[in-house]
Every structure is written in C-alpha cells, then in structure tokens.
A and B are shown apart, each in its own frame.
Chain A
Amino acid sequence: MTPPDPDPTPEVRRRQKSRALAMAVILGALVILFYAISIAKMS
C-alpha cells in the first residue's frame, strides 16, 4: 500500500474529493436499497 502523500497537489485533492463524494452517494443508495429489500422481504 502506498503511504499517503503529505502534500497532495490541488488536482490530487480534487480527484480524492470527487471519488469520496461518489462513494458517499453509492453507500447512501445501498442503505436505501437494503432497507427497501428488508421491508419487501418482510411483507
């Protein structure tokens, strides 16, 4: 595993932020999906 860059460039920061946002959206969508599946299974 590569150690984190102590002084990332603005481009690296922008990409990290955009990936983190995409991951947050995916995780949020999965939470909603798993909740919906649980409700559907119970019904």
Chain B
Amino acid sequence: MLSKSSTLSSPATRLPAEWRDFLALTKPRVMTLVVFTGLCGMLAAPVAIHPVMGFTAILCIALGAGASGALNMWYEADLDAKMKRTAGRPLPAGRMEPQEALHFGVGLAVFSVLLMGLAVNVLSAAILAASILFYVIVYTVWLKRRTPQNIVIGGAAGAFPPLIGWAAATGRIELLPMLLFALIFLWTPPHFWALALFVRSDYAAAGVPMLPVVAGPKVTRAQILLYSVPMAAVAVAPWALGLAGAIYGVAAIALSAVFLVLALRVAISRETDPAAMKAERRLFAFSILYLFALFGALVADRLALA
C-alpha cells in the first residue's frame, strides 16, 4: 500500500482531485451495462417492486459497480500506467492520491451494501457484496495477473446484476435469473478476447497474461468460437424452457445467429495486424449491442405478456 502511494505520487497530485476524477474511478461506461442488466433483471421478475425501492436497488447496483471499478483502478494503477488505453486514468495520470481512491472505493462499497440491505432486502445486499468481493479479490487481486483464465472466472462478477435486480424484486433466486447470470458469464470471454486480440500489445506491455498474449491469436480465436456456442444456447434457453415468450425467443435466435457468424469470422481470420482486425472489432462492438438488445427484448417480452 505504501509502495503504491510512493510510486504513483507526483507533483500534480498535490492539487485536490476533481469530482470528475472520482466519477472516472467508477468506470461509468461499464456501469451503464451493469445498471441496464440489473434493471432488466428487476423488470423481468414476476413481482412488481415499489418504484422507490426499485430506484434504490438500481442505485445500489450502480454504486456497487462504481466501488468495484474504483478498487480495481486503485489496485491496478501500475498496470494502467503501462497501457495506452488506461494511462490517462486519474491514478496513473497523477491526478489523484492512491489512498483517496482506496477510501472512496471502500466507502462506496460499504454504503451500497448497507443501503441495499436496509432499504431493499438482505438477499440482494448479500449478492451485491459477493459481486464486489468477487470482482476485487478473485478477479483483480487473485486472477488477473496470474492466469489467462482471468476473465473466464472473473466474468462471473459482471454476471451478478440481473440476479441482484431479480432478488431485489422477489427476495428469491429462480431459474430465469440464473440463466441470465450464465448468459453474461459465457458472453464475457468472447467479448473480452475479441478486444484483447486487437489491443494485445497493450496487455503484453503491461505483463497481463491475457489469452492472446499467453497462448497466441490462433488459440484465442478458437476459444472465442468455443464459448460463443454455449452462450447462444443459454441465450435461447429461457424461450425454449417456456420462461420467456416469442418476442424474446425471436430476438435471442436472431441476435445469437449474428453473434455466431461474427465469432466464426474471427475464428477463421488469420489477420495479425491489430489495426486491420476488422472481424475482431466487429465482434467486440456487436457483443455490447447483443447484450443490450437481448435484455431489452426480455423486458419487452415481459411487458407484452403483462
């Protein structure tokens, strides 16, 4: 902890950090997807939640995700400084003291879990706490620097929000939110490995053992396709098992078919120049749209049924 402070401090950090830097610590773009999937999990539940409690639950999910992001940035400031994509973040850029980021992250985590437990229910608070601990301890501290399977196991952290949203509304865990959890869990590897293929040099420079760095692009391309197939099956499962209606079923089949085609193109590509990796960039961009559209279709389906 002391070495973090001493190695990252610079004259610029003598100025107090701006509120925008605290906001940047929460990774607002990642938070958007987390909030959206959490909201969809809540809206897909068969029980209507009081609007104030629903808002509070989503706020807690957002704050919990923000806390995870802040603690991740605190722990990985040395890695971030070595990568072009992340070098401008508040800590590596020297706009904030590491201790400020640590206090902010811990404070936000404790507050989000306490508020969820007191205002909504204990089950959703427990899952929120588990998701924060999983992201910070299992993924950031334990796996990320040690194994190319980091995002496979760590992907579970990002899969919790629909489960939390559902638990906030119902106070229970059922099959549908578990399928949504599995969907995000299986979606994470193709999503991140597509990105890692075209920013490989960044990860290599930072010494992060991402699959393309450790096993090479050929294995990574095959793994992307390998994870996309069960992901597509899990995406269609809610409709196939009668847990969702035709709107979701059609959307899941169409979107998953496009995903599989894009994953297949990545699998057969032999491109080595990151700047020319169009198939990988397309899959990465589509994977974000895929998750938004699929969860949106689930909510539309529920609203149509209601």
Contacts and interface: CB of A to CB of B under 8 A. Distances in A.
Contact of A12 (B15, B52, B53): B15
Interface of A: 11-12, 15-16, 18-19, 22, 33, 36-37, 39-41
Interface residues of B, number: 12
Contacts of B53: 37, 40
Query: Chain B contact residues: over half helix, strand or loop, or mixed?
Result: helix
B66 to A, nearest CB: 12
B24 interface: no
Contacts of A18: 18-19
Interface string B23-56: 0000000000000000000000000001011011
Interface of B: 15-19, 50, 52-53, 55-56, 59, 119
A18 B20 CA distance: 10
Nearest to B119: A37
B15 A15 contact: yes
A27 B19 CA distance: 14
Contacts of A12: 15-16
A19 B50 contact: no
B15 A19 contact: no
A41 B56 CA distance: 12
A36 B16 CA distance: 33
Closest 3 CB pairs of A and B: A22-B19, A40-B52, A15-B16
Nearest to B56: A37
